[in-house]
A and B are shown apart, each in its own frame.
Chain A
Amino acid sequence: MEGRFNMGWTLIRGWAVLVYIFMFLPVAVVVLLSFNASQFGNFPMTGFSFRWFVELAGNEAILRAFRTSIILGLLTALISTTLGVLASLALVRYRVPGANAISTLLIAPILVPEVVLAVALLLFLNFLGVNKSFGLLLAGHVIFTLPFVILVVQARLVSIKRDVEEAAMSLGASPVQTFFQITLPLMMPAVLAGGLFAFTISFDDITGTLFWKPGGVETVPTQIFAMLRNSISPEINALGTVMIVMTVGLPLLGAAIARAMARKSGT
């Protein structure tokens, strides 16, 4: 009895390991090959080198894409968190007519397949006679990241008791002062988390970006995509490694900061 039980667990463990290998091996291969000295992005590795990272740093097109992605990501994060915080405040703290419908509409972009959203926005803009632009790309990213911000911030806001804000107002703080002194600091971990979500989602989005970006503008993912069409250069591996570090490292960093802040404020 005991033996069979143990064997079952061993099998499950083995299976879990296989799943993880299946998921992460390709990523590991990319990271590993980015340090390959050889011209060709494949095994066997001929030596350890930072050569491709150096070349990456000298590639104008990639650097431009990087700048675009970072500016786009930062602006998306800024606008999404601002709108998300305001929307959450309205939905949680005030009685808004049709609050449920508004809430559903704001969350809907997560539920709609990204391609559909991308085409829809494009057709809508076409209908209005507006050309593709960086602004459109930014708008698309904001629509797409807003639900994540709202979900995170709303959850936090619900847990902040109304009487803390009432206490602040009774002590002489106006509603605006109460927001900046009490409410915002208390929801800061969620605001930062939402902003990080927005940044990373924007930073590695490709589907919507391909539809929305104006000609001549490339983000890092679309740049990689374009490069892949010609050849699999080892530079792409290096770029992939940088992307992985950014999209994995930033949320981890954010979570660590949020935890440290929460420990300090005791909530």
Chain B
Amino acid sequence: MNTHPESAPVSSVTLNNIVKRFGTFTAVHKANLEIPEGAFVTLLGPSGCGKTTNLRMIAGLLDPSEGEILIGGKRVNDVPIHKRNLGIVFQNYALFPHKTVAENIAFGLKYRNVPKSDVARRVQEALDLVQLPDVGHRYPKELSGGQQQRIALARAIVIEPEVLLLDEPLSALDANLREDMRVELKRIQSKIGVTTVFVTHDQSEALAMSDKIVVMSAGRIEQVGTPEEVYNTPASEFVANFLGASNILAGACVTKDADAALLDVPLFGSVPVPADKAPAVTAGASAKLVLRAEKLVLMAPGSDTSGMVTAEAVVETVDYQGQTVRYFLRVGDRQLQAINMIDGRPFAEGQSVTAAFRPQDCAALASA
């Protein structure tokens, strides 16, 4: 732990052309991924997208059908799980029910020739780190779900793993606890600096915690980037829709220069999208405009819309969510979504409004 940094090597993880098939079903198609030392990387996607399969292959719980896995630069395809020196935290904690909390945490130290005198001290340090210093003598079932997950984390990091693997560790907790644990998990991870691979289907967890997000869909990696990159510059329609709600408008790129790509889309007309948010778009080809629901603002007709692209719209549905409100709008022949902060009173269903957005808030995709 933090008291012996020299004995805790931090390793990178590399996936080279990884393929995993189950019978005729291909769960992972040619995954290539570079996870740098000390990074917190999230595999994000809906269930069945292959994220857990990838994690289990890194762990050594599944063998890849093709390709190579490297940990710390060394090929580990043939290294069994118990020799990989990884810490894994499971969704359902997976604590040993017949052992006390202290015995659970000490379990991995038994196989690492840690002197007896050091075991008790390191167990206590781990308990202190997860802020449960006094539960060592208890059995797992005597702890709450959140406490059990902290113990599972302590058990995984006390062995000073080269890589920490987290398999949806927050999804078994209830909503309030999940927020606390999210902060706690991130605090502990940055304190010990271990390379971490986190699997989740929850976009807000991914955005809040990660250095890098790997968005997966149907066994393929859709995009790898920082939270800002995947959120603001989605590389595909899937990414745009999975991370928050987006409106996708199919149109064409008229011109493109170093500053902007000028898109012509239905309903709104010409939209100059900043060039760095339209990397794959080429002039003269068809393109799609990605307009995030929270960037589409409703205004009373006649408001000042200078610098914005506008269209006249009618509110169809109002979905009140407290701080924000979600509108479904009719614009021409299309239904669009807008998520706005509530400023005064929300617009009513059937009301005519001006829907507006700033072109620099949009991204553009090349049409497939």
Mask, A44-73, CB within 8 Å of B = 1, is 000000000000000000000000000000
**Contact between B139 and A161 (Cβ–Cβ < 8 Å)?**
no
CA distance A175 to B111 in the complex (A): 13
Q: Judging by beta carbons under 8 Å apart, are A264 and B82 in contact?
A: no
Which residues of chain B are near A267, meaning CB under 8 Å? Answer: 97-98
Chain B residues whose CB sits within 8 angstroms of the CB of A161 once the complex forms: 92, 94
Docked-complex contact B81 and A170, CB < 8 angstroms: yes
Indicate the size class of the contact surface on chain A.
Answer: 20 to 34
From the candidates B80, B85, B94, B142, name the one contacting A163 in the complex (CB within 8 A). Answer: B94
Task: Assign chain B's interface to a size class.
Answer: 20 to 34
Given contacts A166-B90, A170-B87, contact A185 B98 (CB under 8 A): yes
CB–CB B97/A170 < 8 A = no
| A169 sits at the interface (CB 8 A) | yes
Contacts of B152 in A (CB 8 A): 167
Determine the chain A residues whose CB is within 8 A of the CB of B87 once the complex forms. 170
Chain B, range 142-172, C-beta contacts under 8 Å to A:
142, 152, 155-156, 159
Interface presence of A215 (CB below 8 A): no
- Known interface pairs A186-B98, A264-B98, A267-B97. Does A172 touch B112 (Cβ–Cβ under 8 Å)? yes
A248 in the interface, Cβ–Cβ < 8 Å?
no
| Contact call B88/A170, Cβ cutoff below 8 A | yes
Q: Mark B60-90, 1 if CB is under 8 A from A, else 0.
A: 0100000000000000000011111111101
Task: Compute how far the CA of A171 lies from the CA of B110 in the bound complex, rounded to whole angstroms.
Answer: 9
Known: A172-B82, A173-B111. A166 touches B96 (CB 8 A): no
Closest to A165 in B: B94
| CB proximity of B267 to chain A, nearest CB, Å | 50
A sample of 10 cross-chain residue pairs with beta-carbon separation below 8 angstroms, ordered by A number, consists of A163-B92, A167-B155, A168-B96, A170-B59, A170-B81, A172-B159, A174-B80, A265-B98, A265-B139, A266-B98
Which residues from chain A sit less than 8 Å from chain B, CB to CB? 161, 163-164, 166-175, 177-178, 181-182, 185-186, 264-267
Mark B residues whose CB is within 8 Å of A.
59, 61, 80-88, 90-92, 94-98, 107-108, 110-112, 139-142, 152, 155-156, 159
